Amino acid sequence: MSSVLVCVQPARGHVGPTKPLVAALLAAGHDVAVVTGARYEQAFADIGADVTVLDDEVDFDETDLNGSIPGRAGLRGPKLGRFDLATFAGAMPGQLRAVDEVLARGVDVVLCDPLFAAGMALVLRRDAPRVLVLGFVPLTQPTPYRPAPRGLGERLHGAALRRFMGWMTAPARATARRHIRELVGVDTDLSFMDWPMRSDGVLQMTSPGFEYPRPLPAPVHFIGPTTTSSAREYALPEWWDELGGERPVVHVTQGTIANGDLGRLVDPAIEALADDDVLVVVTTGGAEPDVDPLPANVRVADFLPYDELLPRCDLMITNGGYGGVNHALRHGVPLVVVGASEDKSEVAARVTWSGAGLGYARGSIPVPALRSAARRVLSGPSYRRRAGELAAEVAAGPAIDDVVKLIVDG
């Protein structure tokens, strides 16, 4: 049996796809230690993992990011993204202290969140164990990456994107390189965002057809989405049987966390589809839509079990969380993505590029444009067909037992 260390940021979108792998490793008889934040200590302990909690200085509460991360309040847009990346990089020393406590007990392989900065130190150490990266964010390496441009417009856009990303990641690059010099004793020109390419492999939680093809220095294993969401976790609402009717079902969501302002996507989507012959199923994470009265074709819940909901859907409108989008693709559901924060612009670009829907790398779009996009995807068989092809790729990918063998055997 092997000893596996799992390092994961204390955020639902990171923990959700990680827990099934931890559970599978434990079920196969392997020893699993987890380093994460206090908020998710019990979630991993309940399935049998040995949990080490990060020190307060590098822990945070995803439900109160501004309150738990000094200096974050008041920042918006690109400045907020720049700050968050630098904060992730700055956590490297504190994270590495927790990791080294576990490594001292003996570890065969490390599974590491790509935004867990201690992973960068591990891949640059000479004496580190094997390090595999948990691929629950888009593969951006080299950051930023886009396929070969077609025409002048795409070339200009690519040049502008590279300049923007250079500015966006500059503080994180400088911080990470300083810590690597202090902690590992080497100078590196490696970007903080690109360190997974120095790992022993990436377990990318999508299908091959949802990622830009290009040569990469680290092996990439497409294992499909791992997150589960069943009726055991979320009760079904009384209107659930309506999903079996003749009307197309459109699911609308801003994800699990970004529900502080439903006016970004949920409220516009409700307005856009109010007069269409569809059933609109909205999840809000506990917030309330600012639409009163709700149109007759709208149903609202805090959370719904995706493994039951998505097979009944004809379209998903989302702000572009990587896990949610790939959960939809696992069930062959085409998408409209409107999002620009975190990695959502990358997800939106891949939705359009892959042909599985329409992606808009923006925080919001006007109601008429959203209505047009939804109607176009619902009425266009090519989107449903392409989403189905990606679902078939996921189904043909490795089973969870195969992923466990890949992790422990290499």
Write the CATH number for 163: 3.40.50.2000
111 with 177, same domain? yes
Q: What is the pLDDT of residue 402?
A: 96
The set of residues, in sequence order, having a beta carbon less than 8 Å from that of 69 and lying 6+ positions away, is 60, 87
Mean pLDDT, rounded, for 98-109 = 96
Q: Are 253 and 313 in contact (CB under 8 A)?
A: no
174 with 203, same domain? yes
pTM given for the model: 0.92
Two tokens, residue 77? 């847009």
Mean pLDDT, rounded, for 82-98 = 95
Helices (H), 184-309: 266-272, 306-309
CA–CA gap between residue 54 and residue 49 (Å, rounded): 15
CA–CA gap between residue 148 and residue 128 (Å, rounded): 36
CA–CA gap between residue 52 and residue 332 (Å, rounded): 38
CA–CA gap between residue 167 and residue 174 (Å, rounded): 12
223 with 252, same domain? no
Pairing outcome for strands 31-36 and 50-53: parallel
Q: Is 122 exposed, middle or buried (CB count within 10 Å of its CB: 0-12, 13-18, 19+)?
A: buried
Alpha carbon of residue 138 to chain centroid: 7
Q: Are 224 and 328 in contact (CB under 8 A)?
A: no
Q: Are 62 and 10 in contact (CB under 8 A)?
A: yes
Q: Which tens digit of pLDDT belongs to each residue from 10-45?
A: 998 899 999 999 999 999 999 999 999 999 999 999
The set of residues, in sequence order, having a beta carbon less than 8 Å from that of 277 and lying 6+ positions away, is 247, 248, 297
246 with 359, same domain? yes
123 with 266, same domain? no
Q: Are 317 and 251 in contact (CB under 8 A)?
A: yes
Whether 233 is in a domain gets the answer: no
67 with 119, same domain? yes
Greater model confidence, 264 or 28: 28
Whether 390 is in a domain gets the answer: no
Q: Is the dihedral of CA 201, 44, 121, 175 positive or negative?
A: positive
Residue type, 108: D
63 with 89, same domain? yes
Q: How confident is the model at residue 260 (pLDDT cuts 50, 70, 90)?
A: low
Whether 41 is in a domain gets the answer: yes
- Residue 299 phi, psi dihedral angles, 5° rounding: -125, 140
- Look at residues 209, 138, 139 and name the one whose alpha carbon lies nearest to residue 385: 209
Q: How many CB atoms lie within 10 A of CB 409?
A: 8
Q: Which tens digit of pLDDT belongs to each residue from 55-79?
A: 999 999 988 888 899 999 998 888 9
Q: How confident is the model at residue 147 (pLDDT cuts 50, 70, 90)?
A: confident
Whether 145 is in a domain gets the answer: yes
25 with 166, same domain? yes
CA–CA gap between residue 208 and residue 390 (Å, rounded): 8
Whether 388 is in a domain gets the answer: no
Q: How confident is the model at residue 231 (pLDDT cuts 50, 70, 90)?
A: low
281 with 358, same domain? yes
Two tokens, residue 31? 């020893």
CA–CA gap between residue 303 and residue 132 (Å, rounded): 31
Domains contained in the chain, number: 2
250 with 354, same domain? yes
Whether 234 is in a domain gets the answer: no
Domain assignment of residue 286, given as a range:
240-379
244 with 224, same domain? no
218 with 265, same domain? no
Whether 64 is in a domain gets the answer: yes
Q: Are 305 and 234 in contact (CB under 8 A)?
A: yes
Q: What is the pLDDT of residue 257?
A: 63
Q: Which tens digit of pLDDT belongs to each residue from 338-376?
A: 998 778 999 999 999 999 999 999 989 999 999 999 999
Q: Which tens digit of pLDDT belongs to each residue from 296-335?
A: 999 999 889 999 999 999 999 999 999 999 999 999 999 9
Q: Which residues pair with 135 in a beta bridge?
A: 204
Whether 282 is in a domain gets the answer: yes
Q: How confident is the model at residue 247 (pLDDT cuts 50, 70, 90)?
A: very high
Two tokens, residue 97? 């202290």
Average pLDDT across the chain, whole number: 92
